[in-house]
Amino acid sequence: MEVVTSRSIYLRLVEIEDAAFIHSLRIDPRYNRHLSAVHGGVEVQEAWLTAYKQREAAGREYYFIICRRRDDMAIGTIRMYDFIGDRDSFGLGSWILTENKTASAALESASLAYRYGFQVLGFRACHLDVRKENTKVNSFHHKFGVITTGEDALNYYYSMTPATFKKFAESNKRFLTAN
């Protein structure tokens, strides 16, 4: 798979060597408040990534490191997983951005993942779940035009379609086009 690029960032597939970086994000209280808990150390993350690489090779999941274009610094992660049916829908999650992110990294990284899922992989929808208390991320996804499909005690559930994403991408193309 090629690197996926936008204005200030790019996505590259994770490697086993990224385990320490990913683990550091997952255990950092600045970033993990709305994520599932992590158990174990870097070696557990390495084992998880080893199993993930098999799912990636089978085309069942894609986990990306988000990098700044200007200096290749890793600034976060985003993952496409929980593929449903024959390209019916993919889940989007494991989304973390560090304080070293670019000003538009959130917009760009989510857009690149949507673009990859819809335009490259041919999915017909994306499903997301966001903790209710994560008001910033809920607001962010609403700006993209997600449709609320449900909720439970902890989460809101959303869906994004290629048509909705295309409309959003056209109005924000200055952020999404690599120079």
What average pLDDT does range 42-55 have in this prediction? Answer: 95
Token look-up 């997952």 returns: 26
* CATH number where 103 lies: 3.40.630.30
Residue 63 pLDDT more than 90? yes
What sections of the chain are H helices per DSSP? 19-27, 42-57, 105-115, 135-144, 162-171, 173-176
Q: What is the pLDDT of residue 35?
A: 63
Provide CB contacts within 8 A for 84, sequence distance 6+.
Answer: 90, 127
Task: Tell me which DSSP letter residue 114 carries.
Answer: H
What average pLDDT does range 153-166 have in this prediction? Answer: 94
Query: What digits encode the pLDDT tens for the residues 109-126?
Result: 999 999 999 999 999 999
The boundaries of the domain holding residue 98 are 4-176
Q: What is the pLDDT of residue 36?
A: 64
Give the separation between CA 132 and CA 141, rounded to whole angstroms: 12
Give the separation between CA 61 and CA 151, rounded to whole angstroms: 25
Provide CB contacts within 8 A for 55, sequence distance 6+.
Answer: 61
What average pLDDT does range 72-98 have in this prediction? Answer: 95
Q: How many CA atoms lie within 13 A of 101 on its CB side?
A: 18
Q: What is the pLDDT of residue 28?
A: 75
Query: What digits encode the pLDDT tens for the residues 6-36?
Result: 999 999 999 999 999 999 988 876 666 656 6
What average pLDDT does range 47-75 have in this prediction? Answer: 96
Give the separation between CA 53 and CA 37, rounded to whole angstroms: 21
Q: Cβ distance 133 to 101 under 8 Å?
A: no
Q: What is the pLDDT of residue 3?
A: 75
Q: State how many domains the chain has.
A: 1
